[in-house]
Chains A and B, each alone.
Chain A
Amino acid sequence: EAGVTQSPTHLIKTRGQQATLRCSPISGHTSVYWYQQALGLGLQFLLWYDEGEERNRGNFPPRFSGRQFPNYSSELNVNALELEDSALYLCASSLGRRNTIYFGEGSWLTVV
């Protein structure tokens, strides 16, 4: 069974541009989470989607947004990119609430 898959693996963007990252959860999982992991820092919670709805949001500006599609896949959009947005963006999924979260391998975003 496939795990959480993310694309692209690496992405290089220029400051001010927009980035779109994609995630496919484990089959059957309805909850999708996005985390940012900047170099040397812990995992910072970005967004949680469940059944197509945004359920919770971390302490990030509105230029970080996303959505969850009917097939439970998700995308994360980052607008007006800033240099400090350079990080590993991790997607995770779980079988509904309060269940173990399983992570993908992440998408490396570099803003130059």
Chain B
Amino acid sequence: GESVGLHLPTLSVQEGDNSIINCAYSNSASDYFIWYKQESGKGPQFIIDIRSNMDKRQGQRVTVLLNKTVKHLSLQIAATQPGDSAVYFCAENSGGYQKVTFGIGTKLQVIP
């Protein structure tokens, strides 16, 4: 079946540095991608999304890049803060029946 970033790597960054979290997806039919942030014990929180007709989208301190050629998605967080510490999930949406697939996520640890 389809899979999105099945491994849970951990990324440690110094406070103030930029963070880049990567995600690989396998379903070439996916046309909508979302990044979520999940803090310990809480539900995932929407961060930013991007549709397949775009390569890049920017939000407040976050940028999502989409490379459809290699089926890769990345989330860039500028000036990482301690409050950014969480697990970050990418999700892909494919198909009219709202098939959304999530990976295990990447744990971001911000070092003060």
Contacts and interface: CB of A to CB of B under 8 A. Distances in A.
Given A103-B36, A103-B43, A105-B43, A98 B89 contact: no
Interface of A: 4, 31, 33, 35, 40-43, 45, 48, 50, 55-56, 90, 94, 97-98, 100-106
Q: Which 7 residue pairs spanning A and B have beta carbons closest together? A: A42-B104, A103-B43, A43-B102, A105-B43, A103-B44, A106-B43, A97-B98
B46 A40 contact: no
A26 B62 CA distance: 25
A98 B44 contact: no
B68 to A, nearest CB: 18
- Place the interface of chain B in its size category: 20 to 34
Contacts of B89: 42-43
B93 A98 contact: yes
Could you say which of A42, A48, A101 has the most chain B C-beta atoms within 10 Å of its C-beta? Answer: A42
Given A42-B105, A105-B43, A106-B43, A100 B34 contact: yes
A100 B98 contact: no
Contacts of A94: 98
Contacts of B93: 98
Interface in B60-100: 89, 91, 93, 96-100
